[in-house]
Amino acid sequence: MSTTIHTDDRTLSSPRARSDARRAAGALTLASVLAIAGFSVLGSVFEYPQILDEPTADVLALFREHESTVRTWFALLAVGSALMAPAGIWLGRLAGRPLGRWIAGLGIAAATVQVIGLQRWVTLVPGISHDALDPSLRADAEDRFELLHLVLGKAIGETLGYALTAAFTVLVVIALRRVGLLPTWLAVGGFVSAGLIATGVVIPVIEPASLTNFAGYVVWCAWLIAVAVVLFQAGRRR
């Protein structure tokens, strides 16, 4: 069964627009692939994110055991998150003003807060985990880890990141529909994933929301790849 994608030829009539579409497609694809690979490896090696529900001492011990692998994959997750910034800029150009400015701004903001949250595993947690080996420093090290997890992880990287990612996704759907680049089924998928991701904002008070949030990111990663295919096809048209 084939899917027909209707595209407004005027939208990508210029070489710059076609280039922006291809670049956005590349950024979205790589972001999705890194997210899928990163969470798969970290889930297997580091039991992430379930490990965060365990006592801090256990989290730090497991981190030390697999430090090189964990740091590498959190760094790659940060790279994937950072790609939302250029993707937002290129998608914003396709959308045009004024919506394009909001898309670019939200893409940059979403990338920034998620990188801030993820980078702690690469730059800060290694030192903390080794400090925890010293009995005289252990309590302070665990307190620092918990504070960083609360502020950089939950508040900035997760809660704010969920809200910005959901808003970014909604605006991208609206913009690409307006210019004729997004089929209805893909628009629905975008709205559904955004809604599920947004439920993550209430995780601190409604724990089951973590399940809908996770489902949202699974759908979202698949949606990013599908949108990338659409953009790449549109970028090749003359």
Whether residue 224 contacts residue 176, with contact meaning beta carbons closer than 8 Å, is answered with: no
Q: Residue ranges of the alpha helices (H) in 66-183?
A: 67-82, 84-95, 99-123, 125-131, 138-148, 161-178
Residues 6+ apart with CB under 8 A from 34: 76, 77, 79, 80, 83
pLDDT of residue 51: 92
**% of the chain at pLDDT higher than 70:** 94
How crowded is residue 67: how many other Cβ atoms within 10 Å of its Cβ? 16
Dihedral (CA of 178, 194, 20, 227) sign: negative
Q: Which sign, positive or negative, has the C-alpha torsion 120, 126, 132, 138?
A: negative
Helix (H, G, I), strand (E, B) or coil at 5: coil
Distances from the Cα of 61 to the Cαs of 44, 46, 117, 131, in angstroms? 16, 10, 20, 11
Rounded Cα distance between 53 and 4, Å, is 45
Place of tokens 């925890």: 132
Q: What is the 3-class SS of 140-174, one letter each residue?
A: HHHHHHHHHHHHHHHHHHHHHHHHHHHHHHHHHHH
Q: Comparing 33-37, 136-140, 196-200, 204-208, which segment has the lowest mean pLDDT?
A: 204-208
pLDDT at 10: 38
Per-residue pLDDT band at 95 (split at 50, 70, 90): confident
Band (pLDDT 50/70/90 cuts) for residue 191 is: very high
